[in-house]
């Protein structure tokens, strides 16, 4: 079977919102860094904090990538890389959620693991994702909002 990439859904308004927020930080910080009224030590701290915030945001959000692999679902969000084994997935349900996740959209699929963890991803085509997941993880059965392991309480 090999690796099968899963196109990610990206909401332009969400990307624009993050860019505007990061731009606002830069717009506030740059004048402070150039101001003689602010001490050198304070400028260094403000500059380092602003740069750190931008880099931290980018390091956990870019790139977002998903793929079906032979043994499970691969998820990458920035530096974070996860492999969820198919037998460990007990619930895959469609969600509309602002909760942070490996996604640039609020239209998501929540994957719940047998061990108790969960992650939300945003495949471009949720129905196709769920159909392929059901094919690769036959222990999952259709439910009202997606797929569910009948053994899962």
Query: What is the CATH classification number for the domain harbouring 132?
Result: 2.30.29.30
Q: Between these two residues, 44 and 79, which has the higher pLDDT value? A: 79
In the chain, the percentage of residues whose pLDDT exceeds 70 is: 99
114's tokens? 């047998």
- Per-residue pLDDT reduced to its tens digit, 86-114: 999 999 999 999 988 899 999 999 999 99
115 shares its domain with 47: no
Cβ–Cβ < 8 Å for 99, 116: no
36 shares its domain with 78: no
**pLDDT value, residue 1:** 62
**pLDDT value, residue 85:** 98
Q: Which domain holds residue 24?
A: 12-59
- Position 133 in a domain: yes
- Which residues, including other chains, have CB under 8 Å from residue 34's CB and lie 6 or more apart? none
Residue 44, CA distances (Å) to 24, 27, 59, 82, 152 in order: 18, 16, 22, 35, 52
Please give the model's pTM, rounded to 2 decimal places: 0.85
96 shares its domain with 136: yes
Cα 141 from Cα 148, distance rounded (Å): 5
- Position 3 in a domain: no
């Amino acid at each position: 079977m090999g690796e099968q990439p899963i196109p990610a859904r990206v909401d332009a308004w969400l990307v624009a919102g993050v860019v505007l927020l990061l731009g606002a930080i830069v717009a506030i910080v740059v004048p402070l860094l150039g101001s003689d009224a602010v001490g050198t030590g304070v400028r260094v701290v403000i500059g380092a904090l602003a740069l750190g915030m931008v880099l931290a945001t980018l390091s956990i959000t870019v790139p977002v990538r998903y793929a079906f692999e032979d043994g499970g679902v691969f998820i990458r969000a920035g530096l974070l890389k996860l492999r969820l084994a198919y037998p460990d997935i007990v619930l895959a349900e469609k969600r509309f959620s602002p909760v942070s996740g490996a996604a640039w959209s609020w239209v998501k699929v929540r994957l719940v693991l047998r061990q108790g963890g969960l992650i939300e991803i945003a495949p471009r085509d949720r129905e196709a994702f769920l159909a392929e997941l059901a094919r690769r993880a036959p222990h999952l059965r259709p439910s009202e909002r997606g797929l569910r392991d009948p053994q899962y309480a």
